Structure 1
Amino acid sequence: MRNYRSALTLMRIPFSIYLMPIFWFALSTLTGFDVWRALVVFLLLHLLVYPASNGYNSYYDRDEGSIGGLKNPPKVNQQLMHLVLLFDILAVALGTWLSPIFGALVAIYLLVSKAYSYEGVRLKKYPFISTFVVIFFQGAFTFAMVQIGVGLRFSEVLQSPNCWFALVSTLFLCGSYPLTQIYQHQEDFKRGDRTLSLLLGIKGTYLFAALSLIAGTSLLIWLYLSSGQVHNIFIFLICTTPVVFYFSGWVMRAQKDSSAVNFENTMQMNKLSSLCISFAFFLMIMIRVSGLDTNLTGMFRI
């Protein structure tokens, strides 16, 4: 049982909180959805799918230093793979019960996440391919998967402006993903993994992240403007102000002292951005459900 407890730690279930924004974002663009289906999708993704991917990644990486969500990870054991397979089976089975198409999408996500780390493929060795895979599947693909899980058809998901909102989610991942690698350059280099952050360097990673996040935010603002959701612009900008201040301060500290590029600051950035962005989209959902969005839209038009 001790081995299974260590293995469960490596699944990093609390780390799933950093991927919450995509779920809330996908729901925030919908005019209505079944709450119970949304709850099942949330639990399936954050308690099964993401932990299964984390565990599989840990199994093949066998990190000795800090990893996302764990400053001092326990040693990898065979029980970890047992849990990964169990979580995989449960995720696909539950997803198929909810919807056969949704179950298939869950299976595709899990297979792609394994190709990222599996030693026979290990997309992680290729900076541009791995980055594209991560930002697409954790971004637009997950965005669409959530919406299909709550009952939308493929044709509805692909309609404009919904497909453009999906692109926003990928741009946000494009900005945040390299930041998760920024403190692991030495370990990635030793393992032979040429990550995008390692290729860009510390300054380049910060610049790339900033430009990607600015691009995503700009597209999001344009989409809200063109669809008459001006109030959502204010909600998003106000809620994400702490993220902008923290990121700017972190960059300035890192320029003066490279030791600021560490696990603690990276996790703090991830946690803050996840909570702030999730709260912004959650607030948009609550305002829409309560019917206040109509009043707010009229007020901003005036």
Structure 2
Amino acid sequence: MFTITDREFAQLASYIHSNSGIYLKPEKKMLVLGRLHQVLLQLGLDNFTDYYEYLVSDQSGAAMGTLINKITTNHTFFMREANHFHYFKNHVLPYLKQTVASRDLRIWSAGCSTGEEPYCLAMLMDEYFGISKKEWDTKLLATDISDKVLSLASQGIYEKGTIGNLPKHWRSTYFTKLDEDRVQIAEGIRREIIFRRFNLMSLRFPFRRKFHVIFCRNVMIYFDNRTKAELIQRFYDWLEPGGYLFIGHSETIDKSQSRFHYVMPAVFRKN
């Protein structure tokens, strides 16, 4: 049976924070132990000191990827926090349709997990633009730090029960039945999403142009206040004037430290 000392936990937590921005409080020590003990067994390691040495010596990034997959909770579902999607369709898209002369929409789902969020956005845009959609570039960027969830997201395969709360015409138009238990996002919608691995803690955001909309919901709950403030400033810098930022309802933005304008709960706008 493995144990993890306070020193080992602090060392591992510091490494995770430095490389991913995820902040693990001391009370998460047993959670970390529970989620990583199988990893140590598979690696043939006896303790967390040796595991830390294994992490820092790995140059491929695979060890860090496995670590992030184990300690993060990728819980999401279609139309999560549905009022955001309604606001996006009823207010944001009409604004963008009127103001984006290039007809090149740049929308980023940051921390996309298993893909439900970007697929919902793609379906909303398909429905909103209708036959005029071919005149617009509506491809979305969807990123996550976890290779595991990106692989699942790119396949677009979900349990049939997970789409029960979606509109009936969405279920018939945007999903294909694979078998009695599974459905897959229609190919036309899958082609609308560009899935990429990206660490939000990267010192450089490798984008060529700024975004009109950024969704980063229920990601910053893992970060400490300083990391959140720095990331929010980056989002502000990478939004076009008038652009929107959507965050999770359990997350907040300190108005005294941000230039974002409050629109509605968990929705902010760049002036």
What is the TM-score with the length of structure 1 in the denominator?
0.24
Give the number of the structure with larger relative contact order, counting CA–CA contacts within 8 Å between residues 6 or more apart.
1
Higher helix share: 1
What is the TM-score with the length of structure 2 in the denominator?
0.26
Higher strand share: 2
